[in-house]
Amino acid sequence: MPSRLNMRHAAMVATVGILLLYQNCAQAPSDEGTNSQASYQESLPFGYKATLDTVSFMSCLDIQDPVEKRAYFTLRVGAYANQTLKTDGSQNAPSGLTMTDEFRAATSYYTATDRARSFSQSSKNAGARLSLSIRDRSNYQSHWATSQTLPEYELDSLLPSLDSTEVAGPLASIPAPVGTQPAQMFNYFPGSNTQRLIEGSLRFYKSKGDMDSTRAMLEGNGILVAGYAASQDELNPLLRGATEASRSSVYGTGYMLSFSLGANLSGGAFSSGERRVLSSVQEKDLDTGQMAVAPGWNCSAAFRFMVVRPEDAAGKCLPTVDRFANATQQTQLEAIRRVLRVEDWFVDIANRCVVPKRTGDYCYGKNLGTRVIQYYATACIDNATQACPHYVSVCIRN
């Protein structure tokens, strides 16, 4: 969204100098070719640490390509929160990408330009991509797929290669944290329009069978993983870890998800039916195996929005410009607008529903037929005459 992007422009100004330096370094320092220097570069620890602040789920199914991928997804994650200035003048960056403490310490005497270059000169960091996928909780190298593995469906990259100019330059310029303050993070980078934000999406919406089995996997032995791909090949699912091809410990963060019943357009919770809203997120450090205790995730019912077909919107969901009546509604609007672009969706905050703008009735798919969507029912039941409504639900990191 333009408003979100504009707020990040100021944060990028501080990195322009180092980015240009990194881009135009044609030669390394004269002593960089020595064996000792090369050996030290190779020994550098893993350098990337990403913190996401949003996990969302869209239950739409029976969607057939071609379709606008920006508008439709099954799972979408991102780091959207803006940098904020505390009252004492210090910076607090709740989400984004930064350096690990170990990498910062190992390169503490580097210039920012040399540090940026060093990401591509150590095997633990060279060519790494921040990648989104669903994995087996007992084997992080085993990824979940349908009939085949495709980019933007079973696997997705949240950014360009992390040792690229666009990412490594700003990353290397982050100053050391002061006192107990957390390290600064970046969540907006220069580059192409599709690769500036830290955002990734998976899509299992082609059939009800794919959706049901994916949700069952996530609630069983599956975990949503933001890890670091070991290869530039987007179809290679191998993740990086402290040991090569480790199955039980990889660099990155996992998110264990659970789902629940939705509510009708009158606000009443369904008493039975399909669990089509994301109801909880538990965060896990996949390198240490530790579950995060704080800050936790907010999966409030206020962040769940029913999808209403354009032909059904009249009298149910108001397709109009974004507007809110109070601070609570403003928070709800900001949550849903993290994952649904204003170009693609109308949002009716008062009724907590959304209507597609340009894509027509993709969410309910080709198999709806003459079935009536139960927008106001008390039970969500799919049968020959009626259909459950779909939702977009959002969880926000506290």
Residues 82-129 pLDDT 10s: 644 344 444 444 699 999 999 999 999 999 999 999 999 999 999 999
On the question of pLDDT at 289 being above 80, the answer is yes
On the question of pLDDT at 298 being above 80, the answer is yes
Domain ranges of the chain: 2-397
- In which band, very low, low, confident or very high, does the pLDDT at 141 lie, cut at 50, 70 and 90? very high
**Average pLDDT over the chain, rounded to whole?**
87
User: Residue 83: its pLDDT value, please?
Assistant: 46
pTM of the model: 0.88
User: Residue 348: its pLDDT value, please?
Assistant: 97
Residues 32-44 pLDDT 10s: 445 677 788 888 9
On the question of pLDDT at 268 being above 80, the answer is yes
On the question of pLDDT at 6 being above 70, the answer is no
Tokens standing for residue 173: 């310029």
Share of the chain above pLDDT 70, in %: 86
- In which band, very low, low, confident or very high, does the pLDDT at 246 lie, cut at 50, 70 and 90? confident
With a CB cutoff of 8 Å and minimum separation 6, the contacts of 215 are 259, 275
User: Residue 232: its pLDDT value, please?
Assistant: 86
Q: Do 174 and 98 form a contact (C-beta atoms < 8 A)? A: yes
On the question of pLDDT at 209 being above 60, the answer is yes
Residue from 261, 259, 215, 263 nearest 377 by CA: 263
Peptide bond between residue 295 and the one before it cis (omega within 30 degrees of 0): yes
* Better pLDDT: 29 or 316: 316
On the question of pLDDT at 9 being above 50, the answer is no
Whole-angstrom Cα distance, residue 171 to residue 20? 13
